[in-house]
Structure 1
């Protein structure tokens, strides 16, 4: 059955951050079940002794993918998922030059939903991962040759002082570039103390 959405995604290469998280798994599941995407590149960091590739393989064992695996061969799904070692807290998201070349040449769609979600996070960690990480992703996205869409998924908590949150861009109370510069130049403990005063 054809649809405008399915036709749009057909044969596309997708880059996704946050793919091992709740929302990222939902996106992967939807892309693999409803759309005939060519590839999904996942930016994944090593964690608890597991490589990014091992984490992506384990990802398909999640109950979210159970029905999908019953309908399709697991190996076919695995063949569409590629893990790039990366980290949102690093410059260029910790991606290698070879990874960046592949992204620039092949990717059509980017979903950036990776973030540091700990609500008790220290300001330094949140700024470096969430603010600078997004700025680094934007730099990467600007170099993509055949980009058709960049989707940023953020948390409602970024506007936590508002009673109602509209679907629009809000002016930041501080210049993001200044905030990133402060995080990079000031001692992390000093920056964290500033946020509690």
Structure 2
């Protein structure tokens, strides 16, 4: 007999990285709303602006995106457990006590933390998007109840391909070079040589993140999600909700307000947008399939 999606999560705990990003916020809200019988949701939070971890959590949960779950699932806050840490730090910057808890309790890991700035220096992107992924994987290998690691990549991780298959492509450089490149901190000209035909260092780093998981996942079941350009929600938890004006959001907003009337482009190119709630639904469902 097939279980429902909600039943798959019942009584189990999950760990989310990137919970303060657009995707992470909607993922956190949706899983608390639709899978309310889960045991705990551990979210990785960095210390920031002099705030305590509880103050950061309070600020996060006061956002409009959580209004539905506040209204209909009154005790949802009891299920959220913030964990102080940072994917850019060794061991994710997690305390020994929190590490033991995650190892003993977590069944599902959703790794959505990433640096998404196209202009970020290569060494910073590699540290967060590649080494950060490796740090999450290392923790997963120790988890006693782990069922799957879901890694959020991008549809643009293989821009050198006209047709992209649902498989991981080989790394363009030896993965053993990653630590060296982070220490080297290559300048802009050196970066262009390293990434070759990639449009930017971001897509290069996401390609390497996928390759690292394929090469090093070992006994850990891994699912890789490749969304295109994630934009405002279509319907959940609020129609049209988004938390920033970056990328396509600023473009669409400027056009709709009549500020931007003309833009150079190619009519044959596709601006491939996907609502954030569609991506979140896919992530939650995919984790229960245990594909890889």
- Equivalences for 1:43-54 in 2 at 5 Å? 43-54=44-55
1:109 corresponds in structure 2 to 108
TM-score (norm 1): 0.89
1:32-73 C-alpha deviation (Å, 9 max, x unpaired): 111121111011111233333322221211221111211122
How far 1:107 moved relative to its partner? Answer: 0.6
Could you tell me how far apart the structure 1 residues matched to 2:77 and 2:17 are?
17
Q: Any stretches of 5+ residues in structure 2 without a counterpart?
A: 194-292
SS in 2 for 1:43: strand
Could you tell me how far apart the structure 2 residues matched to 1:72 and 1:31 are?
12
Tell me whether 1:180 sits opposite 2:190 in the alignment: no
Q: Is the 8 A contact 1:124 1:191 kept in 2?
A: no
Q: What's the C-alpha RMSD, in Å, of the aligned pairs?
A: 1.9
Q: Any stretches of 5+ residues in structure 1 without a counterpart?
A: none
1:23 corresponds in structure 2 to 23
Bigger Rg, which one: 2
1:109-143 C-alpha deviation (Å, 9 max, x unpaired): 10011011111110000001110010111110000
Could you tell me how far apart the structure 2 residues matched to 1:120 and 1:164 are?
26
Tell me whether 1:69 sits opposite 2:70 in the alignment: yes
TM-score (norm 2): 0.61
Could you tell me how far apart the structure 2 residues matched to 1:139 and 1:130 are?
14
How far 1:165 moved relative to its partner? Answer: 3.6
- Equivalences for 1:2-151 in 2 at 5 Å? 4-35=4-35, 36-73=37-74, 76-151=75-150
How far 1:7 moved relative to its partner? Answer: 0.7
Count of residue correspondences: 191
- Pick the structure with more helix per residue: 1
